[in-house]
Amino acid sequence: MAKIFKWLVFLALGLMVLLAVVAYTLHRWVSTDDFRQRVQREASAALGVPLTLDRVAVDIWPLPAVALSGIVVQSKPPLTLERVEVRPEWRPLLLGRLEVATLLVRRAVLPQQGIDALLLLLQKKKQAVPVKPGASPSVPNVAPEMNRLDWLPRRTVLDDVTWVNASGARTTVKGEARLGVDGLPEGVSIKLTEGNLQGLEATQDRVEAAAANANGATQWDVRVNVGGGKVEGRVGLQRGFVPAAAAPVKPGAKALPAARSAEELVLQGELKTSSVEVAALTAPAKALTGLLDATTTLNARAATTAALVDALQSHTVFTVRDAVVNGLDLAKAVKTVGLSRGGQTRLDTLAGQVSTQGRSAQLTNLVASSGALSATGNVAVSSAKVLNGSVSVTLAGDSKIGNAIGGAVGVPLVVGGTLDNPEVTLSRSALLGAAIGTVLMPGVGTGAGASVGEKVGKGLRGLFGK
């Protein structure tokens, strides 16, 4: 028995020495300049744009890993990554399968224009591949036991990764994400160290199936600390199928095979915002400041996760305490009955509702109030931050003008400009009424005339169908 044990020990030692020699040889071969240049050529051919590397390394201890350093993708502008490290799972690797345990990206700068240019090149390259008549598109030779989720890293670590948007603004993030066996996130943590939302910290944790609702949706608890306040809530994702509509069949014709149902993803969520400084959400612009309290519902339906972003709809009921509207003086606009640019409007309370579709927003049921001013209205915000809407402003006061304008009428103002540079003007019909009111009752009749002129203008549009 002792002899057999001794031989087993010698065999184990021999295997360990053999593995060490193989690992050392592999490490030396991968680190050579010839291997680095070969990787550069293969990667450049695959991407359709030149790629350069400073170094390729293979580490065995404490975990097996392949690391690429000094990566530059020469798109316009270029993408730079100081280090990308891939750590595979040990056991599947010994069985000949590649399953990525950890993906580490460190000190990367990723301009959006460069990403778009690279994706465009890859799309053109894919379309340029000829397909013979009658032949189906080629399918990669993947082993049948290989699951497509095996290629997704179970853990992704971002260390000082900077995204640069089309206007040149930089956002740097540190974060970590863990995926479950179904490819959905188990947990995500993010911290923004540079950019408009600098200091934001967010976490997303998967809810245990026993605690989730009965509709089969996967749910996550979301927590965000930003602007001195917090956003908390729960978001759920459910997979389903939408039955395809059956094609009409003419009498006597043969019925066609039933169409296959299409897969659909349904996203739903509810969030609560408490005491968040509005300016922290809109930085660097400060069109509005104040403490935001809100409740938000989210809904989206799409066939893919990427399409969910464009299909996302939200509805928010909000209140802003101690609000200040910068770049717009509503009281001055009423008193002058003309164009107003610059200044600010202080409000005790600003409340309303916001509905969004993609990047467009619609503000409805706006109600603003302060000691001397109240306003109501509706304003739309386009994806380009262009404002379009109207507000009715009433001033309160003891003076003859204040009583005539504020106590009796609401002066209608058209909201225009952009989110960063808003402006208000009288509509044409209100402007005509203001001019007439000024002639009949100088000063006092201006606001009343504007209100009457707007009502007359609406009546004329209705009369002529315009």
Mean pLDDT by groups of 10 residues along the chain of 466 residues: 59 56 55 78 88 84 78 92 86 69 93 89 74 53 49 89 90 94 90 91 86 70 94 89 53 54 81 92 81 93 81 91 82 64 80 86 85 81 82 62 45 75 61 40 41 39 35
pTM: 0.71
In whole angstroms, what is the distance from residue 338 CA to residue 357 CA?
A: 33
Amino acid at 457: G
Main-chain phi, psi angles of 282, to 5 degrees: -110, 5
In whole angstroms, what is the distance from residue 322 CA to residue 291 CA?
A: 7
Residue 230's pLDDT is what?
A: 95
State how far the alpha carbon of 262 is from the alpha carbons of 205, 240, 243, 245, in Å.
29, 8, 6, 10
State how far the alpha carbon of 340 is from the alpha carbons of 45, 334, 344, 368, in Å.
58, 9, 10, 18
Residue 159's pLDDT is what?
A: 95
Residue 334's pLDDT is what?
A: 67
**Taking the domains of the chain in order of start, what are their residue ranges?**
14-124+149-168, 327-466
Residue 106's pLDDT is what?
A: 94
In whole angstroms, what is the distance from residue 326 CA to residue 421 CA?
A: 9
Please give the structure tokens belonging to residue 392: 């009715």
Residue 132's pLDDT is what?
A: 58
Following DSSP, what letter does each residue of 143-212 receive, concatenated?
-TT--GGGGS-SEEEEEEEEEE-TTS-EEEEEEEEEE-TTSSEEEEEEEEEESTTTT-EEEEEEPPTTTS
Residue 130's pLDDT is what?
A: 63
Max Cα distance, the chain (Å): 120
Whose CA is closest to 416, among 320, 341, 335? 341
Cβ atoms 55, 70 nearer than 8 A = yes
Q: What kind and span of H or E run contains 239?
A: strand 229-242
In whole angstroms, what is the distance from residue 89 CA to residue 155 CA?
A: 11
3-state secondary structure at position 97: coil
Please give the structure tokens belonging to residue 335: 């008193």
**Burial of 248 by CB count in 10 Å (0-12 exposed, 13-18 middle, 19+ buried)?**
exposed
Q: Within a 10 A sphere around the Cβ of 359, how many other Cβ atoms?
A: 13
Which of 306-343 are b and which e, b meaning 16 or more Cβ less than 10 Å from the residue's Cβ?
A: eebeebbebebebbbeebbbbbbbbbebbbebeebeee
Residue 92's pLDDT is what?
A: 67
Cβ atoms 409, 395 nearer than 8 A = no
Cβ atoms 206, 236 nearer than 8 A = no
3-state secondary structure at position 50: coil
